[in-house]
Each structure stands twice: as structure tokens, then as C-alpha cells.
Amino acid sequence: MSERKSLDSALSKYSSEDFPTLLSLSDDLADIIADFGELFAKKDKVAHAAFATKIKFSRKVRRKGKDVGKFEKALVSEFDAKKISLEHGRRMADIIKIMRKGDMEKAAHAAEEYYSILELGHKMEDNEFAIEQVQWQLQKEKGRLQNLLSCIESLAQEPQLDVEKIGRHKKRQQLAQELQNARLGQISKIKSLPLPHLLKMAQEENLQQFGFPEISRADLDALASSLQKLGLSSKAALALAQMCDWNESRLRHEMAEPAAFRHQIVPHRAWLEQIAALENSHFLRVDGKHGAFPANSSAHSGQEGGKIDSASAYLSAHSPQASDAYAQISAHDKTASDDDAEFARHLRIEREKAELGGITKEKILANLKEAEDLEAIISGNAKNDRAGGASKGGGTDSHATASGKNGGDEGGHSKAAGNDGGGAGGIVGTILSFFGRKN
């Protein structure tokens, strides 16, 4: 705000009608002073340069001299159009006179106010850019607040949650976890059995129908016989799978015929590893809805549809906890779809509430009002800046218009331009005189 007050104080010295033209003329004047300051600084060096360099330099001087002529025409035109005051017109014309005499330091000193005007114009441009950035941020914040408001209004229109459906869904989740625990417990028991006992169980209870790793009857009998001969009847599947990695020396400590082990047991290593990882397979898998195989399992196909009930019955027969859980889950199968949908809606509402962070509709409306009020204030300042002449576009166009109106006359025929006539000839002549030439 202090920057804004400083700009307003500086602008108060000039009328909003005059400032754009004055800013443009100040810019042109500063360029002319800089250009001819550079030319005068080089004159001594060029005086001793090659002839081609002198010609090139003299052409540059003439071009810059024409710029001065155009500037003087612009002064006349802008004064006649009442876009600058008589005082500023005369002062700029006097600065041109000083330049004709070659005193660039004095000319720059006399133009200090116009340098200040130019600096003020740059500050106004920066200020307007800053205002645009703030306006953009306000628009972004308003959009965010409006989205929050829309979310709050949408939540307010949500039907009341069905607590009974949500409760049934949570209960089914709990029961599904109990089924999973019962499954893992039964698998742990199966995995811990000595392999010969497990092979006998798999055969008698037809465990393959529940997803147990498949093995042919011949391989099963041969494996049981080999284990008996090798004295490994007490080993579980995991232990045997690990022994497949043992070296010859270690195997000899465990058995008399390591070669027989490699020939008869190691070929079944992949099958043994499947048993060791039964919990990660579809064996006795439950999904929480049916208490058995997951929906993507082949157990749901028409050809093998009986597997679902058989697996559930098998698990229930070995675990009273699983039997009770499966019975309760099955009792709610008809409402499961609606219960799941209501629980999903409950989660969505809770997530949206968390994103709101406890903010109320009243607070959002207050923030929106505050943002809109600030936007109105800033927009008003931006309009004032533009009215005050933050843009300097008018000056260059007026120069071209002035050139047309004056019909190429570079003499000063008004009070603003002075009466010395000849336009840029004085400056061009002053510089070219160093080369022994006349303009």
C-alpha cells in the first residue's frame, strides 16, 4: 500500500490527460539524449578513424538528427492538440537547444524531471502487473471457494445414511476376516503335517477339489514310497523343499542315498514349494461374500460350481468359528449389494468432509465476499492506473500525425518548439564540423 501511495503522490503533479503524452515524449527524449551522448563520446575516436568508418558514423549522425526533427514536430503537434502544457513544451525545446551546443551533461541534467517521469511510468507498469497477478490469485481463490461451497451444498442434499446397512456391511467384513483366519489356521495345520500323512489326507479327502496343488496318483504313490525308503517320512513339504538346495555333503548327514533324493524327490520341488505357499493360492480361499472361492476363480464356473459349497463345508467342518461366520454371511447375501453401495457412499461422504477440513458454509460465503470486495478495490485501482496513463502508446502515434500535419517543416512555428528553426541541423552540424565538413 505504501508503494501505491507513493505512486499516487507522484502522479498528482500531472493531469490524467497530459501524462500519457508526457510519458511518451520523456521516453523519446531520454533515447535521444542517450544516442547523441554516445555519438559525442565517440567523435574524437572517429576523427582519427579510416574514411569508411567516418562515412558510416556520419550517416548514423544524420539518422539520429532526423529523430530529433521528428521529436520537435511531435512537440509542436502535441502542444497544438493541448496534450502537453506550454511549460513542458518549452523545457523540452530548451533541452534540444542545449544538445545542439554539444553540452550533453547539461542536457541530461535539464531532463532530470523527464527521467523521473519515465521511472514513474516503469513503476506504474510494474504496479499494474502486480495488480494483474493479485487479480489472478483472487480468481483462483474464488474458484477454490466456489468448489468448496458446491461440495458443502451437495453434501447437504445427500439422503441420510442408512446405519443398518452400514452396520451389516461392517459385520460382514468382520465375519470375512474370521473366515480368513480360520482358513489360514487350517492351512497351517496341513502344511505342518509330515508329507506322507499329507499325501494320504489329500488322497482320502480329495483336497484337489478345494485348490490343493495337483499331482497324479502314480506320482503321489511313488513319492510316498521314496520318502519311506529314504527315511524322510517325518519331513513336512517345506523342509523337503529347502533340502533340495542342500549340497551333497549336507545331504549325506541326513540320509544314506543323496543320489536317490536328487533323482526321486528334487523333480517334485515345484510341487513342494506350492504346498509351502498354500496360503497364497486359491486353496480354501474365501471372499467374504460366499465364504469360499473368489469371484474370479474357476470354482464359480458351471462345470465346477459344487466346489464353493464343498470348500465351505470342509472349512466349516474343521472350524466351528468358520461354520458360524459362513452361516451369518450367507444369511445376508440378499442385502450384500445394497449394503456395499451404502458403505461406499458413507466412505465418500467422510472423505469429502475431511477435505473440507471442518469449514462451514457461512465461513466460505464470508471469504467469498471478502475476495470479491478486494477484487473490486483492486479493479478500481487498475482502472485508475490506466486512466492516469500507465500506457505510453499515444506518443509515438502522435509523432507520426505531427509529421504529416507539418508537411516536413522542421522549423519551430509555435511557442512550444521555440524559434530557432532548422530542426536537427544544429546537432548534425556540430558533430560533422569535427570532420572538417559543413552540413
The domain total for the chain is: 2
- Burial class (CB within 10 angstroms; exposed 0-12, middle 13-18, buried 19+) of 243: buried
Cβ-count burial 334-368 (b if 16+ within 10 Å, e if not): eebeebeebbebbeeeeeeeeeeeeeeeeebeebb
Whether 111 and 184 share a structural domain = no
In degrees rounded to 5, what are phi and psi of residue 376?
-65, -40
Measured on CA atoms in the order 248, 249, 253, 256, is the torsion positive or negative? positive
pTM of the model: 0.50
Compute CA distances 80 → 161, 343, 399, 401, whole Å.
79, 80, 12, 12
Evaluate whether residue 365 is within a structural domain: no
pLDDT in tens, 6-65: 666 666 667 666 788 888 888 888 888 888 887 777 777 777 777 787 788 778 778 878
Using DSSP's 3-state secondary structure scheme, residue 239 falls into: helix
Indicate the residue among 288, 322, 352 that finishes a domain.
Answer: 352
Under a CB-based contact definition with an 8 Å cutoff, are residues 106 and 98 in contact?
Answer: yes
- Gap between the Cα atoms of 238 and 274, Å rounded: 9
Which pLDDT score is estimated for 131? 81
Which pLDDT score is estimated for 326? 85
Evaluate whether residue 368 is within a structural domain: no
Least confident of 244-258, 310-324, 400-414: 400-414
pLDDT in tens, 261-304: 999 999 999 999 999 999 999 998 865 444 333 333 333 333 34
Whether 59 and 185 share a structural domain = no
Under a CB-based contact definition with an 8 Å cutoff, are residues 392 and 27 in contact?
Answer: yes
Evaluate whether residue 384 is within a structural domain: no
Evaluate whether residue 199 is within a structural domain: yes
Whether 117 and 172 share a structural domain = no
Which pLDDT score is estimated for 404? 37
Under a CB-based contact definition with an 8 Å cutoff, are residues 322 and 315 in contact?
Answer: yes
Indicate the residue among 295, 324, 352 that finishes a domain.
Answer: 352
Residue 316 CB partners (closer than 8 Å, separation 6+): 322, 323, 326
> Domain residues for 197?
163-352
Indicate the residue among 352, 382, 414 that finishes a domain.
Answer: 352
pLDDT in tens, 186-234: 999 999 999 999 999 988 888 988 999 998 889 888 999 999 999 999 9
Whether 113 and 192 share a structural domain = no
C-alpha cell at 104: 550533453
Answer yes or no: is pLDDT of 97 > 80: yes
